[in-house]
Amino acid sequence: MAKNLIIVESPAKAKTIHKILGADFDVTFSLGHLVDLPASRLGVDVEHDFAPHYIVIQRRRKVAKELLQEARGKSAIYLAPDPDREGEAISWHLANLLKDDEVKQAAKQAAKPPKKTPAATPARKSAQKAAEPNGRKIYRITFHEITSSAVKAALQHPTEIDQKKVDAQQARRVLDRLVGYSLSPLLWKKVGRGLSAGRVQSVALRLIVDREREVEAFVPKEYWTIAATLKTAAGQTFTAQVDKVGGKKLEVATGEEAAKLTEELKAQQPVVASVDEKEQKRYPKPPFTTSTLQQEAFHQLGFSSARTMRVAQQLYEGLEIGEAGPVGLITYMRTDSVRVAPEAVGAVRGFIGKTFGHDYLPDAPRAYKSRKSAQEAHEAVRPTSLARAPESLQGTLTAEQLGLYRLIWQRFIASQMADAVDRVIAVQIAAGRFGLKANGRTSVFAGWTKVYHETEERDKDAGEDTEPDSALPPLTVGERLALLACAPSQHFTKPPRRYTDASLVKMLEELGIGRPSTYAPTIQTIVARDYVRRTGGSLVPTALGRLVTDLLIEHFPEVMDVKFTAHMEEELDRVEEGDVGWVSAVRDFYTPFSSRVATAQEQMKEVKRDVVPTAYVCEKCHKFMVIRWGRFGQFLSCSDYPTCKTARSVPTGVMCPQPGCGGDLVERRAKGRIFYGCSRYPACTYTARRLPSPSDAGSTPAAEEAAEDDDRPTGD
């Protein structure tokens, strides 16, 4: 049996590390946190410096018991959870569990009756020594990639647990518990059971609600553009847009005015007034951080933030890639830094020169600057070995694993490649009192775009008006052009874009709300609580989400304030840096917060008592039904509640499409997913994932399955 034990979080990570180290080390896992605050009560002593009461998590007790048994008899134990605050806190809890178990085992040994041996014999001394703690060493090791060199280097340079990181994570956990266990029961009392609020999730929800109200308040304005199709003397055609009329910017608000100008333009002779041609460089983007990885995975792969992080965790912990066995394919994926190790920079520059040639390699390595608020604790997200090209892993990884790995691999290589160079042409055309413009762009040198193409978020609700620049034919100043056609086009100004997973993560990062490890769980929570729904990729608040937001803004303006929440994140960073004690940081928040909770208990409107009369009749007691608020928003309830407890979903106003049915479609839930079904179920079994338009009523679309299982997150 090996004398050394390494403890990680997951079985996959344990398997990869065991393959690297062989028989000299046993490797086991904790499945994340073994110890946490109790789920059934606050677990924080607010009267005594917010002392947390930690317990072994109920569902982890078997794992904890097995882990402690495996640790007994080991001379050295290495704690190797992820290299961040969360991992440091897990290590701290594990170390305390191991030390407590060691003391208990020593006490049991000491309580055994001594053997009858002479006092001075070696056997007597051996028994006394066995009754004492075995003095095993407990170390903390960290590595940012699960490769042979990184893991072995970490074992050669073990450290102690970073108590400042532990304190910062403990402050976050206590703060979130205080907020969750104060606001959630308040919402249960005032709105409906099962609701939740949180220090970060509620601010993220507010951003989405505020944006939706901007969209609703937006009044579109009509405007018109005029496009002309022109032909050169050589017979080549291109399109130009009317830019100015009479020296002033074109501003046309009506179709009549646009038509009048179009007719006037048809009578003019277009002449090339100027040709401005220049080369323009495009610089590569830095390698991925957590935020930019989630954004680009959304744009290019359609992944939610939670899906991106789940797949990235698999790539980091290690996957089977043929005879090589489990291998960690990327570096640690929770990071806000764009820093890259010098060894990795050297490797990628060598790869670029060998693969693409010297022209694609800058004279000096590129250095990128992280955000001002970045903690710089880890490298950027990159592949652990450039030798593992995505093509070589085809058929080994799943489609989603390969897609995300390819994105990371390509972005990292592109980040150290030469600039892309384009030839950009801006042409001005005179036609009487009209000024037209045309822009062209052609590639001179591909540079980093040889490997990677970044996408931009597009407004899926409204589309895009502008087309990307294309090549223009050769043009010279004074050249006369033939006007083949011109036509006006109607447009309307567009409202602000709704948030998507990508744009919300970007905004949270810019505002300093949350940290890399919190973006995905935050979005997942507000969607799971049905405060927000995904519609065509956009995050749209529900009526319940709006209601909860308004109540919290009214009674807890500090908690819902974006700047205040960002300030709390800075305070947690200061705790980690040792500038502020964690108890002091928690107290400064909790003192005014607790006063507001007490006031809200008395003054917050009890929404669940509000009812809206309807014309619907209860099928059991035949009394009218009313609309009430509950955990999943509004629902129909018998007006004679609690004597009659009949309840059902509020009809959507869309008739069931099944011919001859006559029922209404209502919103239903199954296994955490939302779908639409007929109110006459089980007589009619029509279901659909999306609500059909009213015009579809009477059609017979194929019924769709309701949904797959979707785990709801638990916590405060």
Distances from the Cα of 7 to the Cα of 14, 33, 97, 160, 561, angstroms: 8, 12, 13, 15, 40
Distances from the Cα of 208 to the Cα of 29, 129, 508, 637, angstroms: 38, 64, 11, 29
Which residue shows structure tokens 């006063």?
595
Calculated CA dihedral for residues 484, 490, 495, 496, nearest 10 degrees: 0
| Calpha distance 414→450 (Å, rounded) | 8
Q: Of these residues, 316, 332, 519, 590, which one is catalytic?
A: 332
- Interstrand relation of 434-445 and 319-320 (parallel, antiparallel or unpaired): unpaired
Q: What angle do CA 495, 496, 502 make, to 5 degrees?
A: 140
Collapsed DSSP state (helix, strand, coil) of residue 148: helix
CA nearest neighbour of 407 among 272, 311, 536, 276: 311
Residues whose CB is less than 8 angstroms from the CB of residue 108 and which lie 6 or more positions away in sequence, other chains included = none
**Host H or E run for residue 616:** strand 612-617
Q: Where are the beta strands (DSSP E) in 232-282?
A: 237-245, 248-249, 271-282
| Calpha distance 193→631 (Å, rounded) | 6
- Alpha-carbon 673 to chain mean position: 19
CA nearest neighbour of 522 among 259, 176, 190, 153: 176
| Calpha distance 646→437 (Å, rounded) | 67
Collapsed DSSP state (helix, strand, coil) of residue 108: helix
Helix, strand, coil fractions of the chain, as percent rounded to 5: 40, 20, 40
Tell me which amino acid residue 265 is.
L
Collapsed DSSP state (helix, strand, coil) of residue 319: strand
Q: Is 223 a catalytic residue?
A: no
Widest Cα–Cα separation across the chain: 122
Instruction: Categorise residue 489: left if φ over 0, alpha if ψ from -120 to 50, beta otherwise.
Output: beta
| Calpha distance 26→77 (Å, rounded) | 10
CB 249 within 8 A of CB 517: no
Collapsed DSSP state (helix, strand, coil) of residue 228: strand
Of the CA atoms within 13 Å of residue 207, those in its CB half-sphere come to 26
CB 335 within 8 A of CB 289: yes
Q: What angle do CA 202, 204, 207 make, to 5 degrees?
A: 110
| Calpha distance 674→150 (Å, rounded) | 45
- The DSSP letter of residue 223 is E
Residues identified as active-site: 332
